[in-house]
Amino acid sequence: MKTMMKGLLIVLVVAALPLGASAQQLFDFNGQALLPAGVGGQLTMYSVMFDPAPIDSPIPLDFANYEFTLVLEGATLTVDGISRIFAGGTVTIYQDAATSADYANPATFTDGTAILVGNLTSLSQFVPPVGPGSASGHLDWVGGTRLTDMAPDDQLNWTFVSGTNANSGTLEPGYDEVWDGKTEPPSTIVDTEAASMSKVKALFK
């Protein structure tokens, strides 16, 4: 009985007291993509992240003191056409205080600390004959220095959506498309709060 009670209390403490989390959370990015020449080629996208306020970042990021970049690499084009399908690929978020991201030098997007590394589990791109396109997929975070800021269940099945535009006035020299999008968890990630046993017990009085 004593062991059962102890187990119950541990579960309660782990799940305890979500802090005032915003209803929506996402990582927002704006970048430039290099498209594969054809089936079998790989997609690469370099982007800079913005503070999405008043929407929250899923984990706190210090935008005042660091630059955050999001890089998509290694997604292989398997089906071409109006609907493109990609296989594999990774998404990495870097935190960097040293250099400013510069599209003329892609290395400035991949320096710093990889705080989150994710595997794309799906990615497709819709490119209508006229008008801009869009990309949609899902990813699981599997590494990075901030991975454990999220509970294991919160690391999986994030939505990835982006506008894709080959005719934008902001297209940088040497790139094929502007990508403006976001990735977000399937449900709000809540923080935890340290609580004494008596405080936890008080919740059930």
Cβ-in-10-Å burial (0-12, 13-18, 19+) of 196 comes to: exposed
Q: What's the rounded Cα separation, in Å, for the pair 110 and 46?
A: 9
Cβ-in-10-Å burial (0-12, 13-18, 19+) of 118 comes to: buried
CB closer to other proteins out of 108 and 162: 162
CB closer to other proteins out of 44 and 165: 165
Partners of 48 in the β-ladder: 30, 69
Residues 6+ away with beta carbon under 8 Å from 196: none
Compute the least distance from the CB of residue 170 to other proteins, in Å: 5
Buried b (16+ CB within 10 A) or exposed e, 11-31: ebbeeeeeeeeeeebbbbbbb
CB closer to other proteins out of 24 and 145: 24
Compute the least distance from the CB of residue 162 to other proteins, in Å: 6
Number of helices (H), then strands (E), in the chain: 2, 9
Compute the least distance from the CB of residue 185 to other proteins, in Å: 8
Compute the least distance from the CB of residue 29 to other proteins, in Å: 9
CB closer to other proteins out of 52 and 89: 52
CB closer to other proteins out of 7 and 128: 128
CB closer to other proteins out of 99 and 136: 136
Please tell me the total number of residues recorded for the chain in this structure. 205
Compute the least distance from the CB of residue 179 to other proteins, in Å: 9
Q: What's the rounded Cα separation, in Å, for the pair 76 and 70?
A: 18
Q: Which residues bind other proteins (CB under 8 A)?
A: 23-26, 28, 30, 50-55, 82-83, 124, 126, 128-129, 131-136, 138, 157-159, 161-165, 168-170, 178, 180-182, 184-188
SS3 5: helix
Compute the least distance from the CB of residue 181 to other proteins, in Å: 6
